[in-house]
Every structure is written in C-alpha cells, then in structure tokens.
Structure 1
Amino acid sequence: MYKNILIPVVFETPEITQTAFDAAQALAAPDARLTLLHVIEAVPVYVAEYIPTDIVTSTREAVQARLDALALSLPGAATAIADGRAGPRATRWAEENGTDCIVIASHQPALSDILLGSVAQYVVRHAKCAVHVVR
C-alpha cells in the first residue's frame, strides 16, 4: 500500500482518468495522500508575446477549477498545477514531493508514440518511484 500517490491528469480523457482514480484508491493505504497534477505545457516565446496576460491567468484558473471538480470524486485528494513538459515535470514533481507511486493513464499507442514517446512512457522510464500504468 502506498502513502503518497501522484495522479497526473489530462482533461481530454475523462474515462481513463476515472480508471486511474480507481487504481489509485485500490493501491492507497488508508491514510494515503492522493494528489491530482495537471501540467500546463509552456507556450513558445514567439507565440507568448501575442497572448494577453489575462488569457493566461484565466486559463490557469479554469484548469484549477476543473482539477478541483475532479478532486470531488476522489475523497481527500489534493490538487496541483505545474508548468513544463508533462513527462519530465510530473517525474520531477513526484521526486520533489516524496511520492512513492505514480498512477498514470495511458491511451492506446499510435505510431507517433512509438517514434516520439508518450508521457506515460517517459514517466515509466524516468520516475524514481513505483509507477502503475492504467488503460
């Protein structure tokens, strides 16, 4: 049983996210800390200068609201937002916060995943804690 579980969240796949929640609850110790993490990818500098600051702020607030709504379906869950590339940032967040298991959802692989890699694949290869991949 794990005491500090990280669940990276992608909003585009709610059915897979629920599967990750179910797995995390099954793997969690009774007093476990569960954290839902969404990583916001950085906007390239040449694009960022054309995006109004209020759009960036409102987008971050919308992400937080969606995370908070998801956390309601996972009793006792906390939420976090991080910036960067999803795979590296999730693994670094896990290490910085003493995570002992990452429960990550993975979609069905496509050819682009084989050539470029996926977030779940990155996490599996680089995390310093246990990783549980669900589909």
Structure 2
Amino acid sequence: MYKNILVPVSFEANRDAVGAIEIAQAIREEGGKLTLLHVMEAVPGYALTYVPAGFHEDMQKSVAEELGQMIETVDNAEVQVVDGHSGRTIVDYAAENDVDCIVIASHRPGMQNLLLGSTATQVVRHAKCAVHVLR
C-alpha cells in the first residue's frame, strides 16, 4: 500500500484516467493522499501570435475544473496543473513531493514510441518510486 500516489492525466485518446484513479484508490493505504496532475506543454513560439490573450490561464482553470470533477467523490485527493515537458515534469513532481507510487495510463506503443519514447516510458525509466502502468 502507498501513502502518496500521483496520477498524471492526459486528455489524449486511449488514456484511461478513470481506470488509473480506480487503481490508485485500490492501492492507496487508508488516509493516503492522491494527486491528479496534468502537465501543460508550452505553445510553440510560432503559434503564440494566434493564441488569444488569457488563453493559457483559461485553459489551466478549465483543466483543473475537469480534473476536480474526476475526484469529487475521492477522499484526500487534490488537483495540480503545472507547466512543463510531460515526462520530465511528472518525474520531477514525484521526487519533489515524496510520491511513493505513480499510476499512469498509457496506450499501446507503436513504432513512433520505439524511436522517440512515450511519456509513460520516460516516467518508468526515470522515476525514483514505484510506477504502475495501465494499458
């Protein structure tokens, strides 16, 4: 059982965030903490002129609200929305916040993942805590 579980959430297709939350609850010790984390990647510089003022802040608020709805019935759970590179930021967040298990939903790897690596692969390789991957 784990005391402090991190569940990174991606809104891409084929990511089972609800399943990851269910697993996190099942392996969390009584009174343990559960954190949903969404990492917002930077908008490329060439696209910034097309992004309306306040877009980033509005998007952060919207994502936090959606994540909050996912855990509204879960005790001792919180939501974090941060900026950064997905894999690296998840690993850093876990290390900085004494996370003892990361539960991450992944998709079936394809050829592109064998060459470039997926977020889940990066987390598994670099996290200093247990990682549970849901496919």
Q: TM-score, normalised by structure 1?
A: 0.92
Structure 2: stretches of 5+ with no match in the other structure = none
Equivalent AA in structure 1 for residue 33 of structure 2:
R
Residues 21, 74 of structure 1: 8 Å contact kept: no
Percent identity between the aligned chains? 46
Residues 18, 70 of structure 2: 8 Å contact kept: no
Aligned equivalent of 2:131: 131
Equivalent AA in structure 2 for residue 5 of structure 1:
I
Distance in 2 (CA, whole Å) between partners of 1:39 and 1:101 is: 18
Deviation at 1:45, TM superposition (A): 2.3
Deviation string 1:60-104 (CA, Å, 9 cap, x unpaired) is 111111111112253331000111111000000011111011011
Distance in 1 (CA, whole Å) between partners of 2:14 and 2:109 is: 17
Equivalent AA in structure 2 for residue 20 of structure 1:
A
Distance in 2 (CA, whole Å) between partners of 1:52 and 1:114 is: 36
Residues 15, 107 of structure 2: 8 Å contact kept: no
Partner SS for 1:46: helix
RMSD: 1.6
Number of aligned pairs? Answer: 135
Q: TM-score, normalised by structure 2?
A: 0.92
Aligned equivalent of 2:78: 78
Segment of structure 1 superposing worse, 75-84 or 9-18 = 9-18
Aligned equivalent of 2:12: 12
Segment of structure 1 superposing worse, 36-45 or 69-78 = 69-78
Equivalent AA in structure 1 for residue 67 of structure 2:
L
Deviation at 1:27, TM superposition (A): 1.0
Deviation at 1:19, TM superposition (A): 1.4
Aligned equivalent of 2:42: 42
Deviation string 1:31-86 (CA, Å, 9 cap, x unpaired) is 11000000000112232244222222211111111111112253331000111111
Aligned equivalent of 2:32: 32
Distance in 2 (CA, whole Å) between partners of 1:114 and 1:78 is: 33
Partner SS for 1:53: coil
TM alignment of 1:75-114, pairs within 5 A = 75-114=75-114
- Structure 2 CA distance for partners of 1:109 and 1:83, relative to 1, 3 Å: same
Deviation string 1:2-53 (CA, Å, 9 cap, x unpaired) is 0000000012347611211121111110011000000000112232244222
